[in-house]
Amino acid sequence: MPRVFFITGCSTGLGKSYAQEVIDRGDYVVATARSMDQLLSFKNATEKNFLPLVLDVTDQTSISNGFATALDKFARIDVVVNNAGYGLAGCFEEYDESQIRRQMEVNFFGLLDVTREALVAMRTKNTPPGGVIQQVTSIGGQRGVAGFSLYCASKFAVEGFTECVNKEMKPEWNIKLTCLEPGSFRTDWTGRSMTFAPRLTAYDHIDTKKSMDERHGKQAGDPDKGARVMYELAVMKDPPMRVAIGPDSYNLVMKKLQENGENFKKYEHLSCSTDYDN
């Protein structure tokens, strides 16, 4: 029986490649974006296997309506992919309050609202209950990057939230949550999808826009190959809690694990010196 995927942020990049991969594999996809015009170019999409929906993850009504429409058509949702998001670039002092709030509203709070709808659908609408929720975080959810403090904060928050919720699930619900941590892929993330803060002269030693412009269009990651990996993880019987997507992400995560191990071991004598004597 074909699986039903519900994917946010399908206008370009990994989201678009993922939705196409689902169709190519013979499954059904609910592809969402903020504009219907961005959902008209999928190959082999038919009324049977494809449902395009306008959805804004910062609008709770939009999310609820999207899930209701998907359930009306397909009667169940097997995989929810929280892919919608964007990058806010610049040093922390360069961000204004509206940019800070917007970054968290889209990347974190919007993801929470979609996750809540997904949990209810998978628990109460699917027969039998169950499903997979994939949170597309980033290598920036594992490592801090200069010039992306709020972006990384949003992704770190998703990682912690997802790890906790995964532990709250009853086994009989058969709901699994996974953090997908992509590295650099050749998408619009460093182009039109990125917002840049105004520069402050105090931070003239970090030019995030220049570095992003230099990388744009030259990233090693192939979105279609990334989408294939994400699909394979979605259909696993027991998917991992988190997984790096791309060699650069994998190598940076492994380096961070080594650094953390060395750091915690170095200060073990202080860490373990705080209990009462007896």
Determine the average pLDDT of the residues in 163-177: 98
Question: What pLDDT is stored for residue 190 in this prediction?
Answer: 65
Question: What pLDDT is stored for residue 20 in this prediction?
Answer: 98
Domain ranges, residue 155 = 4-252
| Among candidate residues 253, 19, 6, the one with its CA nearest the CA of residue 133 | 6
Domain presence at residue 138: yes
Domain presence at residue 176: yes
Q: What digits encode the pLDDT tens for the residues 178-231? A: 999 999 898 776 667 789 999 999 999 998 888 888 788 788 889 999 999 999
Residues 146 and 29: their CA atoms lie apart, in Å, by 36
Contact 5, 24 (CB under 8 A): no
Domain presence at residue 21: yes
Contact 51, 73 (CB under 8 A): yes
Q: pTM of the predicted model, to two decimals?
A: 0.95
Domain presence at residue 95: yes
Domain count, the chain: 1
DSSP letter for each residue of 8-73: S--SSHHHHHHHHHHHHTT-EEEEEES-GGGGS--TT--TTTEEEEE--TT-HHHHHHHHHHHHHH
Asked if the bond preceding 171 is cis, omega within 30° of 0, the reply is no
Domain presence at residue 159: yes
Q: Is the dihedral of CA 120, 126, 129, 135 positive or negative?
A: negative
Task: Residue 82: give its domain's CATH number.
Answer: 3.40.50.720
Beta-carbon contacts of residue 184 (< 8 Å; ≥ 6 apart): 215, 219, 220, 221, 246, 248
Question: What pLDDT is stored for residue 217 in this prediction?
Answer: 76
Domain presence at residue 165: yes
Beta-carbon contacts of residue 39 (< 8 Å; ≥ 6 apart): 10, 11, 31, 32, 33, 52, 53
